[in-house]
Structure formats: structure tokens, C-alpha cells
Amino acid sequence: MTTSVPRRVAIVTGGTRGIGRASAERLAADGMAVVAVYAGNKDAAEETVTGIIATGARAVAVQADVADEHAVAAAFDVAEQEFGGVDVVVNAAGIMLLGPLAEFDLDALDRMHRTNIRGTFVVNQQAARRVRSGGAIINFSSTVTKLALPSYAAYAASKGAVDAVSLILARELRGRNITVNAVAPGPIASDLYFEGKDQETIERAAKANPIERLGVPADVAEVISALAGPARWINGQTIYVNGGVI
């Protein structure tokens, strides 16, 4: 008599575009049921979920503002009701707004703080309460926290907060067999990265690492797959996925 292995369940915020979508698709290919959380683009959400289901995996899309604790709690409720629980949380939702510190619009700072810092805190709070033993929580930092590039002060500060939250939560979850890590991509060929950049800037970034290309979402999704599954001895770390730029 064989005993079936329960399907693992992943929640992916920002899971219908760019790196988040690639991560959701990769985890589904790894055999997980996926709850793709999206902010507002319903068409992209439906396209993502339809594509995952077409592969034979299970997936649903849930709209939620990651900074709204009630909406995030409701997304976790859906995961539990539809699939029986939560094993992996990938918090890929984020925004990037750039500008010199002396001139940076404080309303833009507050907007980015709400998504990147409060959103990370809210998602991690629910994850800490609900992820099952053997699970993983994966946040998104950025390589720019180390590069100190002009115009990135506000964005890098928001991602530095992600590093701090991830390390501390890993220690707070002692004894529960849940890993918490942050992934820090370098420049990735995605809408988030290309927005507002000229071709010269993009080409210079592509040449900055020894591999001499921009990353693609699948490069990061590969690391997400490892952290979500077999890489159980990596915990409380920020993993730089950037082709060797630092």
C-alpha cells in the first residue's frame, strides 16, 4: 500500500508579473498548488493562473494590497480553504521609485514604504502565524543595497528593511522548522527594471557583471525553487542573484 505525499501549497505575492510570475510558474512545475496574489491587473492574473492550470497544476488568483492586513489574511484563508494549508510564502510584490535623495518626493517615499516595508511586514506576519512545519518564507531584497547607486537611496533603504525583517524572523521561528530568507536580484529584464531607463543605462548594467548580461526572471525563480524545497540548511540569509556584480 502506497501513501500519497500531501501537495505543498505556495502563496506568491506579486505572482502575476515578472519575477513573481516566474516564481509561481516554477513552484507549480515543482508540484505545488499556487495562490497568486495580485494588486490590480486582473487580466494578467487570469492569464497566469490559466497557464499554470493548463500544465496540470492547481492555482487560484487572489487580489490583495500586501500592505492591508485584512486583505492579506483573506488570501491566506483562500490558500487554506482551497488547498488545505500554506507551506511556502514568496513575497515578490514591490515597487521601485528612483530619484536623488535631496529632491525625492516624500509622498513617493511613503508609497514605496507602504508596499516594500509595510507589505513585507504584513505578509511575513501572516506567514509566521500560518506556515506549516517544513515550510519556507522568502522575501525580496535587492543587490542595490550593496551597490550604493545614486538615485537609489529610497528604494535601497526599503530593501535594507527587508533584509532585517528576514533575519530576525528566521530567529524568531526557532524550533518550528521554517526557513526565512531574502533573495536579492541584480538587474533583471522585467518591466519593473526597464521603466524609466534609457538603452545606455541598460547596456551598462548588463556589462557590470562577469557574465555580461541582464538576468531573466527564470534565473531568480530557480533560486526560489531551491529555497522553497530542498535547500533546508539555508536560513536567515540574503542570497544575491546577480551574475557576480558584487
Q: Which positions are annotated as active-site residues?
A: 155
Q: How many CA atoms lie within 13 A of 141 on its CB side?
A: 28
Rounded-to-integer distance, Cα 108 and Cα 32, Å: 36
